[in-house]
Amino acid sequence: MNIRKIIVLFLAMNVLLMTACGNNSSKASKENNFITDSKDSVVIAIGSEPETLDPTQGWGHGNSPIVQSTLVKYTADLTFENDLATDYKLSPDGLTWTFTIRDDAFFTDGEKVKASDIAFTLETAKTAQGSVDLTYMESAVAEDDTTVVVTLSKPTSIFLNTLASIGIVPKHVYDKNYGVNPIGSGPYRFVEWKPQEQILFTANENYYGDIPAIKNVTVVFMSEDAALAAVQAGEVDVAYSTATLGTTGVDGYHVEAIASADNRGFTLPVLPNEGKTTQSGAPIGNDVTCNLEIRQAIAYGIHRQQIADVVLNGFGRPAYSENDSMPWNNPEVVIETDVEYAQKLLADAGWTDTDGDGIVEKNGLKAEFSCIYPSGDSVRQAIAAAVAEQVKALGIQINVEGTSWDEIMQRMFSDAVMMGWGSAIPNETYYLYRSDGALLDDFYNPEGYMSDVTDGYLDAAMEALTVEEANENWKKVQWDGTTGTAMRGECPWVWVVNLDHVTYVRDGLSIGNQPIHGHGHGLPLIQNLQEWSWESGGLL
């Protein structure tokens, strides 16, 4: 018996057990009668297991949480439309948001979704201080069952972006175990989670929106190689893969290259080594990469399109920022490959190869440093190696090294890192470059970039009262004509490529109109799960 048959059988037995135990109201119990025919089921292999299914702790961050509903949600073109909210208003000073809530939404235990649930969710997310940033929120108060008023301490242009990622949790049953056994009001209902193995979902038949065509969903967690093997064995319907494996043809499947803002690039420490450490004791600074001409020479000296074509097998495109092609991206961040200019930058700054070893040096310091990446990530390894090979022509030696995430956390303030980043929301620009976020023990701004000018634009973008005003300031963060975070500016990052999210899909299955993906190891793939359908039936 193959994996698909085992999963379908397990789902049926699980539902019968839940029904027999009488854990749900009569309204919710209707959901247990889902059909286990394969035409209504999918098995999806992705590479990264979530830490929690609790939106207040980060589940759904940057994507739709699917088990829960949100106040507003993204459209495919990154605009907003109402979800639980039927209307919202913003006060002229930008501090007070008033939301009217629909009255036909129910949690899967039969309880109606109320404004008090929204207020509770937002207050809980603020207190949690996880990946959802609500530090600027003063309060969230339910005025009645269908009205919630949110007061901010300052105007915040990214508030709707944040709301589109926070699924609403039920106040009446929320506890410390919610993240592993969630109840929501979204298009899918949680069934079971086997850590390091799989998560099971089923369609919420009482969902207020369109009921998903795919009734039973199994998400299994597999490495890149294992996922491809499962595709070749016909044991999964969809598998998140990589550019290095995506050219493998498999009968009965096709590859979809989904556009993304998921990029790969170097973080380069901008501070010298002065013997300082972070709060956790990690060393700060690099005497080679702290030189602007080194960072810019690498940026101008690499052939991005060649890396996209050869290393990524065409599943990607050149990257020039954290948000290429987004409405808030500054088109002036694009630079052309110019090896001669890169060599001139180095020579003008006094870097020369005096001993003939192929590496330029200045005042006895060789232009040599380490770039680390997480072991086992074949894409990051291949990109880093390609860049290292290309910049040899400049006299720069980059030593590529795979290591653990724990070690990366200790070395990223003093070594270059082949980092993965990119988001389809503007929040990331703020966190990447603000001075008060530099050199903290997280992955934002380990390079130590700090600028009063940039901070001014960041604050102006965050506090803007219109999208247009915010976008103009996001663009100035990157380049204002004189300075900025772009590679032609202070260049704390050398951006290399944007990845296509390479996905094997069984023939006959439609995965809908995929919105542009942010950084993520498979989870962005399921954010539009309710749009998926079998065009000509599935196979057991």
Task: Provide the pLDDT for residue 138.
Answer: 96
Provide the greatest CA pair distance for the chain. Answer: 82
Mean pLDDT (whole number) for 200-226 = 94
Return the pLDDT at 22: 34
User: What are the b/e assignments for 378-402, b being 16+ CB within 10 Å?
Assistant: bbbbbbbbbbbebbeebbbbbebbb
Query: Over the stretch 247-298, which tens digit does the pLDDT of each residue have?
Result: 999 999 999 998 888 899 999 999 999 999 999 999 999 999 999 999 999 9
Say how many Å lie between the first and final Cα of the chain, rounded. Answer: 10
The mean per-residue pLDDT over the stretch 401-428 comes to 91
pLDDT at 539 > cutoff 50 = no
Separation between Cα atoms, residue 133 and residue 443, nearest integer Å: 15
Going by C-alpha positions, the residue among 274, 319, 374 that lies closest to residue 487 is: 319
DSSP string, 32-101: GG----GGGEEEEEES---S-S-GGGTTTTTS--SSS--SEEE-TTS-EEESSEEEEEE-TTS-EEEEEE
Contact predicate 264/380, CB 8 Å:
yes
Q: DSSP per residue over 229-276, as a string? A: HHHHTT--SEEE--TTTTT---TTEEEEEE-B--EEEEE---S---S-
Helix (H, G, I), strand (E, B) or coil at 488: coil
Of 540 and 42, the structure prediction assigns the larger pLDDT to: 42
Q: In the structure, what pLDDT confidence band is assigned to residue 13 with cuts at 50, 70 and 90?
A: very low
Identify the pLDDT of residue 131: 75
pLDDT of residue 34: 30
- CB of 41 closer than 8 Å to CB of 139: no
Would you place residue 30 in the very low, low, confident or very high pLDDT band (cuts 50, 70, 90)?
very low
Q: What pLDDT, in 10s, does the model give residues 331-360?
A: 999 999 999 999 999 999 999 999 999 999
Comparing 416 with 25, the larger pLDDT belongs to: 416
Averaged pLDDT score across all residues of the chain: 89
In 3D, which of 266, 239, 304 has the Cα closest to residue 498? 304
Contact call for residues 19 and 208 (beta carbons, < 8 A)? no
Judge contact between 331 and 430, C-beta under 8 A.
Answer: no
pLDDT beyond 50 at 460: yes
- Rounded to an integer, what distance in angstroms lies between the CA atom of residue 114 and that of residue 145? 5
Percent of the chain with pLDDT over 90: 73
In order of their start, the domains of the chain are: 1-46+201-259+503-540 (3.40.190), 50-194 (3.40.190.10), 263-499 (3.10.105.10)
- Distance CA(82)–CA(522), nearest Å, equals 26
pLDDT tops 60 at residue 60: yes
Please name the amino acid found at residue 425: I
What is residue 328's DSSP assignment? T
Distance CA 529, CA 202 (A): 11
Q: Which of the four pLDDT bands, split at 50, 70 and 90, describes residue 4?
A: very low
**CA distance linking residue 374 with residue 384, whole number of Å:** 11
List the helix and strand counts (H, then E) for the chain.
13, 23
Three-state DSSP state, 12: helix
Rounded Cα gap, residues 267 and 444, in angstroms: 10
Is 394 within 8 Å of 338 (Cβ atoms)? no
The average pLDDT across 167-174 equals 96
Q: Six-digit token pair at 499?
A: 């990845």
Confidence class for position 175, pLDDT limits 50, 70, 90? very high
Predicted confidence (pLDDT) at residue 36 exceeds the cutoff of 80: no
Query: Alpha-carbon distance 261 to 498, whole Å?
Result: 6
Where does 337-470 show beta strands of DSSP type E? 361-362, 365-366, 368-374, 397-403, 416-421
Higher pLDDT, 478 or 439: 478
Return the structure tokens found at 207: 């969902």
Mean pLDDT of 481-498: 97
**Rounded Cα–Cα distance for residues 498 and 326 (Å):** 13
pLDDT of residue 28: 31
CA dihedral 31, 35, 41, 43 (to 10 degrees): 70
Give me the mean pLDDT over the 431-445 stretch.
Answer: 90
**pTM of the complete model beyond 0.85:** no
The span from the CA of 46 to the CA of 526, in Å, is 10
Residue whose token pair is 């759904």: 60
The residue-averaged pLDDT of 89-103 equals 96
| Rounded distance between C-alpha atoms, residue 30 and residue 122, angstroms | 30
Who contacts 175 (Cβ-Cβ below 8 Å, separation ≥6)? Answer: none
Mean per-residue pLDDT, 383-388: 97
**What's the pLDDT tens digit per position in 497-534?**
999 989 999 999 999 988 778 776 557 888 889 999 99
Average pLDDT over residues 385-389: 98
Residue 192 β-bridge partners? 200
Sort 497 into a burial class: Cβ within 10 Å, 0-12 / 13-18 / 19+: buried
